[in-house]
Amino acid sequence: MSNEWLDTIVIARYDATARIVVLDLISPDGAELPEFAAGAHVDVLLDGDGAAGLIRQYSLCGPPHDRTRYQLAVLAEAASRGGSLGMHRLRAGDRLRISRPRNRFGVSDRARRHLLVAGGIGITPLLAMAHLLQATGAEYELHYCARSRADAAFLGELERNPRVRLHFDDGPDYQRFSAGDLGPPDPDTAVYVCGPGGFMDFVISSAQGAGWPADAIYKERFAPVQDADAHTEGGAFTVRLAKSGGEYEIKEGESVLDVLLSEGVDAPYSCQQGICGECIVRVLAGEPDHRDDILTDRERADGMFTTCSSRALSPILELDL
């Protein structure tokens, strides 16, 4: 694990909805926290009851220019393995260890206009983007979709913003989100999508069906599209490390990352699900079998590879490690 853990204190906590808790974190000595770009997330190390040693990723949703505190919003998942429920048990005064912010979902510097589409808890990174775009005077529009008003966080703040459109599943038909809300493709506009898997699939397929190019659509998922077993299916192959010269056989049922870590290789990683991007390395030779849901087509063409979820189509895959 390549994390440098930072100690923080929960300075404030409130329930945004019946299932979403908002936590404000500060440095114990009152110093500024590391800077972050809109769309960033942090790893959180949970050591509470039922969550000992768990590491989970949560997006930063506060204004990026405010380094006095970080703000997280966490949905209590019914099928939680202890992560979200551990976060909900936190109270003001509790200490929490987090990583430095990382970001693979930032605001495009090539776009003139920004179209943000959030579903449920997917509002968290997009809210930080809205803070940034508002502060810099950029052109943007935020669509926030939720099951109902009672399920929507940050309503007091969002309802006052004329650039925000709210969509509730239990509301009248005219205000529900549809493919038409995306508008026609615009070469100067970037589309950002975050939320539950089915919601994201609908938005992305609608955008692509309307002619939006893939490189204009930015996405961040909170869960992998494929089951974890699908990441390790397939025949054996060999991974060769260019820097150390080590060679390791990757059998069916094993991931490249798991084998490297078991052999004591200092390989980067975090989520181990193919969605955070921390384990990305460069392929120097061989043909990868990409099974992640984070790399763009351009990044794959440039030789990027996720060791936790992808495999090889060639007998040998040489990595820049």
| CA atoms within 13 A of residue 62's CA, in its CB half-sphere | 18
Q: What is the pLDDT of residues 253-267, one digit of tens each?
A: 999 999 999 999 989
How many helices (H) and strands (E) the chain has is answered by: 6, 18
Annotated domain spans of the chain = 6-98, 113-220, 228-319
According to the model, what pLDDT value does residue 122 have? 97
Q: What is the pLDDT of residues 237-250, one digit of tens each?
A: 999 999 999 999 99
d(CA 153, CA 140): 20
Residue 280 pairs in a beta bridge with 306
Over range 209-216, report the average pLDDT: 94
Contact 95/26 with Cβ under 8 angstroms? no
**Chain centroid offset of residue 271 CA:** 10
Residue 273 banded pLDDT, cuts 50, 70, 90: confident
Q: Which CATH class is domain 6-98?
A: mainly beta
**Superfamily assignment of 228-319 in CATH?**
Beta-grasp domain (3.10.20.30)
Token readout for 305 is: 């590879």
Place 316 in a pLDDT band, splitting at 50, 70 and 90: very high
Q: Tell me the average pLDDT of the chain.
A: 91
- Residue 24: both structure tokens together: 């404000």
Instruction: Collapse the DSSP code of 187 into the 3-class scheme (helix H, G, I; strand E, B; otherwise coil) and give the result.
Output: coil
pTM of the predicted structure, to 2 decimals: 0.85
pLDDT-derived band at 54, boundaries 50, 70, 90: confident
Helices within the chain (DSSP H only): 83-88, 123-136, 155-158, 197-209, 256-262, 297-301
Could you please report the per-residue DSSP string of 45-109?
Answer: EE-STT-TTEEEEEEB-S-TT--S-EEEEEE--TT-SSHHHHHHT--TT-EEEEPPPB-SSPPPS
The matching CATH number, chosen from 3.30.1130.10, 3.40.1190.20, 3.40.50.80, 3.10.20.520, for 113-220 is 3.40.50.80
**For 3-29, what is the mean pLDDT?**
95
Tell me the mean pLDDT in the region 285-304: 89
* pLDDT value, residue 161: 96
Q: How confident is the model at residue 50 (pLDDT cuts 50, 70, 90)?
A: very low
**Cβ pair 271, 321 in contact under 8 A:** no
pLDDT at 13: 98
- Asked if pLDDT for residue 137 goes beyond 70, the answer is yes
